[in-house]
Chain A
Amino acid sequence: MKQTDTNRRDLMKYIGMGAGASISVAMAGCSGESDPNGGGNGGTETDVDDDTLVATQPIWPESMDPQNHASSNTYDMINYSLYEPLLYNNEETDDDGNYIVDPYPGLATDWEFIDDDETELRFYLREGVTFHNGNELTPEDVVFSLKRGLDVEESEIGAPRETRVPTYEDAVAVEDEFAVDLIMSNATPKAIDRVCGYPSIMSKEFVENNDPAQEPNGTGPYQLEEAVEGEELVYTYYEDYWGEEPDFTTVRWNIASETQTQVSQVQAGETDLAVEINPQGLTQLRDDDNAHTATTPTPRSVFMQMRNVGDDTPFQSTEFRQAMCLAIDNEDVTDNVVGEYGEATTTLAPEFLPESHPDLEQYPYDPGRAEELVDESGFAGTSFELHTPQGRYLRDSEVAQAITEDIDSLSNVSCDVNIRDSNSWIDDLTSDNAADQPVASIVGWGGADFLVKTAVVQCSLVEGSWGGNCYDELEELIDEANQMSEWEPYLEASREISRWLHEEYVNVWLYNSFNLYGMSNRIDFDPRIDEAVYPQSATRNE
């Protein structure tokens, strides 16, 4: 018994000591300054030194492998910071105010078509470039990377992003030249645009002997210094980088999935750049003297997809589809729900893309005519569900609820909204079996490559999935446009597709969403239309 008593007493003593230690630490913490070496999300404002850019993303990268993920956040943190493509896209505007891809040298210093058909594109590679592990860049590395990123047959990861360059056929190193040829199935004026930014070039020898998903090794301006799982990626300037030294020689990527936390980080001076914030966060930062904001339109179109394949869908009728387009007051919905963070659109091509048809106008809001069209279609009395993900696109579920109300107010159609978990929703949407796909769904689709974007959504590009919203005539038009090797005929054919999409009421075209950024006053950063974030482009705000 005595022994037991002593143990109990000891236990109490230890508890007391623990409590005392905690209080001491608490007092020390309250009176101290933060440790500059503490890492993490930066601590207090004084932690951020002049040469360090702190940027915040909502999610940890899916993978360090730049060719085996499907996340725009991962592109920013891995592809655009650590790796490089053959060509960059210097976004420009043409004389008519249209957005155009303006290629400029990355790992290729020059490029040209070497055949009259313009199906063989030669890239002259930059000499003296080294990967972060010291390996020298060779044509074999470039061929390996092109095949790994674009060749479904030869890529050990199955080239999951092969649709970025749908005309890809082969890649070969050029004998006696420091160059690589990209062979394409047919000529297209988009050939060069499509290799701007993708694929990231990797070291063949390194990938074959290491796991690039865990260990990055690119040629980019930054190299990985430290990765603190789930919290922070620290990059430092790669001293042997061939290009200009960026303003910030250290980049710390933080993770904060909650927008309010990102906003607070900017307000507290703990982060310089919050990459994905919502409209409420943007408003808060606009009112803050220590911060500034930026918004940019993107090529992401949000629309109500209407499945026309299958016996169970009223959307097989053009009249019914037209009725839906007339039943929705899109300008009102866009103004009141999306506000200044989106622009009402008329097709998949936003107005700033040259492929958009200049004569198209918003569908008029005419519920009376919509009811007549429903009667004419033979589907009067139909009811259907509009499926929508929540938070996947700017204001998606709110927009879905607003347009459901418009449709449901028709006397001869009934509509309910079905707000879904994002993953099960995409599972249904891309089902091999068209009958399993939602009859109506809110979909947002990005990409500045109009033909690829249209082909994916309207089913001609990928066999099986997305097969519920499919039109033979549209596929023919896309095929035709894909055969155009000159810019003007291509543009004409693409605009014809825009017109066709609009006039056949293929989908209810809603809006193009904007990207929103919050920044500390320490930096300047110009957001890009293609949504890419290059930390090396951030500059000190003098």
Chain B
Amino acid sequence: MVSGRYLVKRFVHGILVVWGAITLIFVLRHISPGSPINVMTPPTASPELRERVAEELGLNQPIYVQYLDYLGGVLTGDLGNSYVRGAPVSQLLIDRAPATIELAIAATVIALIIAIPLGVISATNRDEPLDYGASLASLLGISTPNFWLGLMLIMVVSVQIGFFPTSGRGTGFVAAVQLLVFEMDAGGFVTWFQHIILPAITLGTYFMALITRLTRSEMLEELEQEYVQVCRAKGLPEPLVLYKHALRNSMLPVVTVVGLQVGYLIGGSIVVEVVFSWPGVGNLIIDALTNSDWMIIQGYLILVSVSWVTVNFFVDVTYTVLDPTVSLE
């Protein structure tokens, strides 16, 4: 049950968190070394050109004026213009965000599809070879750096076997669906899948391992509960006992972690995007960090903070769907 008052309270909290993040990011930008003027001008630029650029950027204004200007811009959706590219940051983020969100969702789906059954199998076969195998797999998943895993997948699956392309996005999910729906052509979908599968596995592996371990431990706890024994005593088929009753009750902590991890996947896909040349915000931020393009860095960090706040809000609401006894007021 979610009350309107709770929603308003969470919304206000969210706004405060994002405002705090914006302020912190702004301060960090101003105490970081490196001048935007150097980004926008060549090393041989004359003092006149440097002065002119400073004026154009408003860098000759007092810092509180710059802050208020920036804050006002953010409120109207204007995150300023990239120092290097001159293009509006909000447009760049809008152009790139779908690729990152798509990748994060794909990684989550792959992780959940594998992790939840694996966790259940592991719990129901406790201390048996299947359990050891699943535990070993999740241990490997947690301890494998995704940078290394991505490169290995490219070298083995793409270069040696030639099964999937090494990099790039191919086509977007929405474009693939449009092609399928309006032209009955599944080619776009295949291209989309071929391009996304390796980055999604790479990004989702750690997540998958984490959920497998969590599902296993929660299931072990649930399977000890009396209601499970009652279900079995009543003669319910075992899959129903496991997946309808025990698994559902063990899902609350999993949902919490999923929520936190989706935020992490959006913010933490940078390495995977670089390895697979995935044209998302992660790659954009790497270019921006290389060039000290603080306008893009600021915009990206705001996007990440908004993503975290939003995802966590939905996680809280999901609690009430999974467990009717949870009330958010």
Contacts and interface: CB of A to CB of B under 8 A. Distances in A.
Interface of A: 1, 4, 7-8, 11, 18-19, 22-23, 25-26, 28-30, 32-35, 37-45, 59-60, 62-63, 65, 68-70, 152, 158-163, 213-214, 228-232, 254-258, 260-261, 264-265, 267-268, 270, 421-424, 426-430, 432, 456, 461-466
Given A34-B190, A258-B274, A229 B109 contact: no
Given A255-B277, A261-B166, A424 B171 contact: no
B154 A264 contact: yes
A421 B34 contact: yes
Given A152-B48, A255-B279, A258-B277, A158 B169 contact: no
B86 interface: yes
Contacts of A34: 165, 170, 190-191, 194
A1 B194 CA distance: 44
Nearest to A166: B44
A268 B159 contact: yes
7 contacts: A19-B113, A41-B169, A43-B195, A59-B287, A65-B86, A213-B87, A456-B43
B187 A37 contact: yes
Given A32-B186, A163-B42, 15 more contacts: A29-B197, A35-B171, A35-B191, A40-B171, A45-B162, A159-B49, A213-B85, A213-B86, A229-B95, A260-B275, A261-B277, A265-B167, A268-B166, A421-B34, A426-B34
B193 A40 contact: no
A260 B155 CA distance: 9
A426 B43 contact: yes
A230 B283 CA distance: 8
Given A35-B187, A44-B165, A463-B46, A260 B151 contact: yes
B39 interface: yes
Q: Which bucket holds chain B's interface residue count?
A: 35 or more
Nearest to B41: A160
B185 to A, nearest CB: 9
B275 A32 contact: no
**Most chain A CB atoms below 10 A, which of B38, B53, B170, B277:** B277
A47 to B, nearest CB: 8
A258 B147 CA distance: 11
A69 B166 CA distance: 30
B286 A462 contact: no
A243 to B, nearest CB: 30
B109 A22 contact: yes
A421 B167 contact: no
A43 B196 CA distance: 11
Nearest to B86: A213
Given A229-B95, A261-B275, A254 B194 contact: no
Contacts of A260: 151, 154, 275
